[in-house]
Each structure stands twice: as structure tokens, then as C-alpha cells.
Amino acid sequence: MIRGDMPVSPPHPSPSPSPPQSLPGSSGSSGSPGSPGAAGSPSAAGSPGAAGSPSAAGSPGAAGSPSAAGSPSAAGSPGAAGSRPEGNEQDGQWATLSGEPLKEIYTHEDLPAGVGGARDPIGRPGEYPFTRGVYGSMYRGRLWTMRQFAGFGTSEETNARFRYLLEHGQTGLSTAFDMPSLMGYDSDHARALGEVGREGVAVDTVEDMATLFEGIDLGEVSVSMTINAPAAIMLAFFVVAAERQGVPAERLAGTI
């Protein structure tokens, strides 16, 4: 994540050091646990003003404190996109983890004379052509989806892993397919010999896809699939698996 995206409190004495904290089940996910300033990462745990640290818990407006918890605009809450989140600004100022002051947003007016302009195609966050993000406040108003790339042998084994990850805090799924599936071969094809289920899950049929997401509400969880040539076939399998759950295609979310 960008270091400038994390708010900081004015310096003040910290309590006794706390043990490193991490998000269970999110190791290796796109949420980048352990990155500088990431909430719940070793570098953030116990730091002054860090979300979830002892010095921030319960402080006025701090992320995760009573004043922010449950509020419609709290960081990471659904529907916060485009709104100004509570608790991310202190004393009317933004700052990096090093204490360098930051503006809430930079526009062409902050560029040197003769560079850019009001009609600059880069635009603003939340506005066409969305080169600066699809939401007005981006990660300050809505946290990214955290996924761990996962796929194990059979669809039954991978389903168990998916459910484990979701139960332990993951907010989306990322599907790893084995090499035959990536290349469009069935598991019983001669070219698939020795490769079935080795680098991910083997998905040959729509039944495999239905088993892969059994017990997982596809209308609530976004799914990423890393797939090549058979992408259209896998997408069709996925849509049918969702329809069997009673979830229409328009409610599906993710990437393929």
C-alpha cells in the first residue's frame, strides 16, 4: 500500500511494546499484511496511532475505536466508497508515517506552472477515466479485498481451504488452477500425466466448479480466477455453479 494512505496521530509516548499482530488466514494475500503501516502488521502493531494498536484503541476518531466502529463512513465499511471516512484525519491534517504533511487530494493546481491543466486526462479519483481509482476516497474510505491464491488437488480439498480462509478473515477468493486446467486439458488427457492437481485445483467439468464453491455464497464473495485460454469455459462453469445456488449472474463479482 502507499505509505501516504495511512493516517498518523501526533507523537506521544507509547505503552509497553506489544507482540506483533497479523490477520489470520491472510498471509500472501493482496492485502499485503506486514507492509509498512498496514493495519495489524508487525510494523504497525503497537505503533503510535496505528489502527488496532494499543495507543489507538479507544482514542477519539481512531479506526476501530467506539466512535468509528459501526459508522456508515468508517474505513473498510461497505458503501463508504466516495465518502469521507471518519477517523482518518486528525487536527485537520494528513501525514505520512514519517510525519510529512499531505493534502487529502492533489490536482493540476499542485503541479508546476505549465504542467497539466484543468482538462488533464488523468482526472480525479472516482471520475472518468478512473486512472486514479474507481472511488473518490479509495483506500481511505474502503479497504481493498484480501485474497490468498489457493488451489489444492481436487475441488473438495480446495473448497475446504476456501472456507477456512473465509472463516479466518479473508474477504475474497483467488483460484489457482492446475496446469492441465490452465491449458484446457481434461485430467485424463495424455498430456496431463503427472500434472493433475500439482500447481492448483483440477477443474474439468461444471460439477467440479460447483463442488469448488459448495457452501460459499457467490452472491456475497468476489472470486478471482487466474486462467488463460479456457477462461470463457471456466466463466460459464462459474455462472452455472452460482445459478445452482440461486445467485443470478448480475450479482457475481470478481475477475477472470
Query: How much is the pLDDT for 91?
Result: 54
Per-residue model confidence as pLDDT tens digits over 81-115: 333 433 344 455 778 889 898 888 888 888 888 88
Query: How much is the pLDDT for 163?
Result: 96
- Which residues 6+ apart lie within 8 Å of 45 measured at CB? 18, 19, 20, 21, 52, 53
Per-residue model confidence as pLDDT tens digits over 40-83: 444 444 444 444 444 433 444 444 333 333 333 333 333 333 33
- Phi, psi at 236, each rounded to 5°: -60, -45
pTM: 0.54
pLDDT at residue 33 greater than cutoff 90: no
Higher per-residue pLDDT: 194 or 30: 194
